[in-house]
A and B are shown apart, each in its own frame.
Chain A
């Protein structure tokens, strides 16, 4: 029987959640025995190739490219998990929601104290993803099946959730694994 497939991505996040996943240490050998990795920064595959059983999303949606990737994951993954506070709440990137988008552009490209932009032009190449009006948590954009809180969720939390799901069970995480203060 083919192994279950896992895909991961980082949207508007810092890759901290992925680092935490690598923190499972030697258990990563168990993991590669149990699953195949599809699209993920770990193997640098850029697009999901078929149907995936579990998708892990780090980071919220700050721009249209994030939306595109998230939608790809939703279409191709049976279960989609928001991993970490940025995916769940918007996190640090969502601090910009307190500032109108126009002012963000002004500060970043025109009037900021360290800006050197003689052309006075805001970068507008069609390759550059356009920003959403505000940073959104993933569940505002697509349906999300599970939320794993933490900044980042600890390696043990990720491991417990993944092994439970791979065993066909709903993850029931003990309080210690989801308490962070």
Chain B
């Protein structure tokens, strides 16, 4: 067939210079322009970039925000993460379905609205929340949701959805002319590092007066460890990346905070983008990289224009671009890569693949990104918070940083706290703070369980509340979801399994199949049809998934089950039953025969005899 080279296609391909590694941006731009990525568009993109069609189609099918199926002009993505469900997202969902007359996953016949679920969109502190196109609508109630739909309907020509949906801007930079979001920062406690008052670019100035090796030594002396969750020493990572021989190295900032219940980076990106970009520039200098990428999760697209503006300002003031801060030989610039709704892209090898315009499939390691990362070049991937710490370490000195927190876990940690507490939001606290003290501070007197580090972390009970939040005890990327005594932890574990089942990339069997089996057995226990042996099955299967999965997503995916099984075993045991009349408790003869009975009648000589055996 002839490629239907529509004007938007040519224009978009041209604006990215037909660069294959920008495929994700190209598809996002086309999706926004055309409302869908149909077969003709996929053909056109493939022809325009000289790619096999399947390379383009497989990227489209991978990301939640891309799709061949026509979506409505207004796409409502209601977050169905656990904190949202705790706050009544189900009622909002029912209200939306009724108001629109469609189910989730469907589009209204007039092509106006599409209703979808989204995994955590980073608004757990103001749940239930939804994304309506790019606009964040937090604190939704059933009535408010229905009202919004009616208003969009009544204003079919509204060019700017934001004007219609956002009644009141949030605090701080959420009210910035380029953000104009209803999102609230909910910054409950500013600590000494990220949210403290500071002298802008002082860290950068000091770094540029040192040699790159000295900068790395400073970060090592501060004993800074990665804030994304794994806690790898940042200085060491940089040393490895710098040691790899190459003309070009890359720095990538991981702002794809997709761990359900995490939203700290949202507040950093809103209130401290300058600090982050300063840290990225210092990292670029230390690594010998001239290019940096901020990988921004698609859910935070509402911050894109604002962040681009901050970057433009820094370029205009000599803080980015050629000869940064007047230093000869140091060129560094940053581009923003927008994600498209895939949790696994927070995993660094998947994130790199995604930034290259590929499916976000994790890769085998080694080679590590420090050896072969973005476009095959040595790459360091660092968390938003980590890079902010870097700027402050250079500003204030490693000794100052190391004096904060505990001996082995230096500095502060940003915590995203949501769930059953009165003061949901972001807290910057010294590492080594006791969990009980945090719970007291956020108004969680009734807490019975806390999910530390999100679903890929662990669920802890009151026995663990005296432990410390730090790398050597309760390690966390920052998400704390609090549950009081009224919550059913097995139901919550099951919800989180839904999340992992949805977000699994499907490459390896333990993760793709294992979690489905895990959920099936867990739900059987929840339905009162499990027996003691099923707990051993959950344990065994969970350990297999943890051991045999290929990437971090799979390896941590059974944690909601494994950690509740270890900390809350009596909750499981209370649901168990014993086999009756020789049949497995999971087997319901009556239900199994219901369908056939409806076709051929309930009378059966065999049924009589089966019953006799009872």
Asked whether any CB of chain A lies closer than 8 Å to the CB of B607, the reply is yes
Contact B584 A132 (CB under 8 A): no
Q: Which residue of A lies closest to B533 (CB)?
A: A143
Contact B604 A126 (CB under 8 A): yes
In whole Å, how far is A132's beta carbon from the nearest beta carbon of chain B?
Answer: 4
Asked whether any CB of chain A lies closer than 8 Å to the CB of B596, the reply is yes
Contact B587 A136 (CB under 8 A): yes
User: Complex Cα distance A124/B613, Å?
Assistant: 23
Contact A142 B583 (CB under 8 A): yes
Asked whether any CB of chain A lies closer than 8 Å to the CB of B8, the reply is no
Contact A64 B604 (CB under 8 A): yes
- The one of A67, A128, A136 that contacts B610, using a Cβ cutoff of 8 Å: A67
Q: Beyond A64-B610, A102-B599: 19 further Cβ-contacts under 8 Å?
A: A64-B604, A64-B606, A67-B583, A68-B609, A68-B613, A71-B610, A71-B613, A75-B613, A124-B599, A126-B605, A127-B605, A128-B600, A132-B596, A133-B591, A133-B595, A133-B596, A136-B592, A141-B583, A141-B584
In the bound complex, residues from chain B placing their C-beta under 8 Å from that of A71 are 581-583, 610, 613
In the bound complex, residues from chain A placing their C-beta under 8 Å from that of B613 are 68, 71-72, 75
Asked whether any CB of chain A lies closer than 8 Å to the CB of B586, the reply is yes
User: Complex Cα distance A140/B609, Å?
Assistant: 20
Asked whether any CB of chain A lies closer than 8 Å to the CB of B594, the reply is yes
Contact B596 A101 (CB under 8 A): yes
Chain B contact residues, CB within 8 Å of chain A = 579, 581-584, 586-587, 589, 591-597, 599-601, 603-607, 609-610, 613
Task: Contacts A102-B599, A122-B599, A141-B583 given; indicate if A132 touches B592 (C-beta within 8 A).
Answer: yes
In the bound complex, residues from chain A placing their C-beta under 8 Å from that of B595 are 101-102, 133
Chain A contact residues, CB within 8 Å of chain B = 63-65, 67-68, 71-72, 74-75, 101-102, 105, 122-124, 126-134, 136, 139-143
Contact B606 A130 (CB under 8 A): yes
In whole Å, how far is A91's beta carbon from the nearest beta carbon of chain B?
Answer: 18
Q: Is the interface of A mostly helix, strand, loop or mixed?
A: mixed
Q: Which residue of A lies closest to B531 (CB)?
A: A143
Contact B587 A143 (CB under 8 A): no
In whole Å, how far is A119's beta carbon from the nearest beta carbon of chain B?
Answer: 14
In whole Å, how far is A148's beta carbon from the nearest beta carbon of chain B?
Answer: 20
In the bound complex, residues from chain B placing their C-beta under 8 Å from that of A75 are 582, 613
Q: Which residue of B lies closest to A71 (CB)?
A: B582
Chain B CB within 10 Å, residue with most, of A122, A123, A141:
A141
Contact B596 A68 (CB under 8 A): no
In the bound complex, residues from chain A placing their C-beta under 8 Å from that of B592 are 132-134, 136
- The one of A72, A122, A130 that contacts B597, using a Cβ cutoff of 8 Å: A130
Q: Which residue of B lies closest to A132 (CB)?
A: B592
In the bound complex, residues from chain A placing their C-beta under 8 Å from that of B591 are 133
User: Complex Cα distance A13/B157, Å?
Assistant: 65
- The one of B587, B599, B604 that contacts A140, using a Cβ cutoff of 8 Å: B587
**Sample of 14 A–B contacts (CB below 8 Å):** A63-B606, A68-B609, A68-B613, A74-B582, A101-B599, A122-B600, A126-B601, A126-B605, A133-B592, A140-B586, A141-B583, A142-B582, A142-B583, A142-B584
In the bound complex, residues from chain A placing their C-beta under 8 Å from that of B606 are 63-65, 68, 129-130
In the bound complex, residues from chain A placing their C-beta under 8 Å from that of B596 are 101, 130-133
Contact B589 A64 (CB under 8 A): yes
Contact A123 B600 (CB under 8 A): yes
Chain A CB within 10 Å, residue with most, of B592, B597, B601, B609:
B592
In whole Å, how far is B155's beta carbon from the nearest beta carbon of chain A?
Answer: 44
Q: Which residue of B lies closest to A105 (CB)?
A: B599
In whole Å, how far is B16's beta carbon from the nearest beta carbon of chain A?
Answer: 43
User: Complex Cα distance A134/B592, Å?
Assistant: 7
In whole Å, how far is A50's beta carbon from the nearest beta carbon of chain B?
Answer: 16
User: Complex Cα distance A75/B587, Å?
Assistant: 16
Q: Which residue of A lies closest to B614 (CB)?
A: A71
Q: Which residue of A lies closest to B591 (CB)?
A: A133
User: Complex Cα distance A130/B599, Å?
Assistant: 10
Contact B581 A130 (CB under 8 A): no
User: Complex Cα distance A36/B331, Å?
Assistant: 88
Task: Contacts A75-B613, A130-B593, A131-B596 given; indicate if A141 touches B587 (C-beta within 8 A).
Answer: yes
In the bound complex, residues from chain B placing their C-beta under 8 Å from that of A127 are 605
User: Complex Cα distance A134/B593, Å?
Assistant: 9
User: Complex Cα distance A76/B593, Å?
Assistant: 25
User: Complex Cα distance A68/B604, Å?
Assistant: 12
- Which 7 pairs between the two chains have the least Cβ-Cβ distance? A124-B600, A130-B596, A132-B592, A64-B606, A131-B596, A126-B603, A129-B606
In whole Å, how far is A110's beta carbon from the nearest beta carbon of chain B?
Answer: 11
In the bound complex, residues from chain B placing their C-beta under 8 Å from that of A132 are 592-593, 596
Contact A67 B589 (CB under 8 A): yes
In whole Å, how far is B576's beta carbon from the nearest beta carbon of chain A?
Answer: 15
In the bound complex, residues from chain A placing their C-beta under 8 Å from that of B605 are 126-127
Contact B607 A64 (CB under 8 A): yes
In the bound complex, residues from chain B placing their C-beta under 8 Å from that of A101 are 595-596, 599
User: Complex Cα distance A131/B609, Å?
Assistant: 15
In the bound complex, residues from chain A placing their C-beta under 8 Å from that of B579 are 143
In the bound complex, residues from chain B placing their C-beta under 8 Å from that of A102 are 595, 599
In the bound complex, residues from chain B placing their C-beta under 8 Å from that of A129 are 604, 606
Contact A130 B587 (CB under 8 A): no
In whole Å, how far is B265's beta carbon from the nearest beta carbon of chain A?
Answer: 44
Contact B584 A140 (CB under 8 A): yes
In whole Å, how far is B531's beta carbon from the nearest beta carbon of chain A?
Answer: 10
User: Complex Cα distance A162/B594, Å?
Assistant: 38
In the bound complex, residues from chain B placing their C-beta under 8 Å from that of A67 are 583, 589, 610
User: Complex Cα distance A71/B597, Å?
Assistant: 21
In the bound complex, residues from chain A placing their C-beta under 8 Å from that of B597 are 130
User: Complex Cα distance A124/B592, Å?
Assistant: 17
In the bound complex, residues from chain B placing their C-beta under 8 Å from that of A134 are 592
- The one of A64, A68, A124 that contacts B601, using a Cβ cutoff of 8 Å: A124
Contact B607 A130 (CB under 8 A): yes
In whole Å, how far is B207's beta carbon from the nearest beta carbon of chain A?
Answer: 60
Chain B CB within 10 Å, residue with most, of A68, A101, A128:
A68
In whole Å, how far is B15's beta carbon from the nearest beta carbon of chain A?
Answer: 47
User: Complex Cα distance A75/B580, Å?
Assistant: 12
In the bound complex, residues from chain B placing their C-beta under 8 Å from that of A140 are 584, 586-587
Q: Which residue of A lies closest to B610 (CB)?
A: A68
In whole Å, how far is B75's beta carbon from the nearest beta carbon of chain A?
Answer: 32
In whole Å, how far is B489's beta carbon from the nearest beta carbon of chain A?
Answer: 27
Q: Which residue of B lies closest to A68 (CB)?
A: B610
User: Complex Cα distance A126/B586, Å?
Assistant: 27
In whole Å, how far is B586's beta carbon from the nearest beta carbon of chain A?
Answer: 7
In the bound complex, residues from chain A placing their C-beta under 8 Å from that of B604 are 64, 126, 129-130
In whole Å, how far is A121's beta carbon from the nearest beta carbon of chain B?
Answer: 10
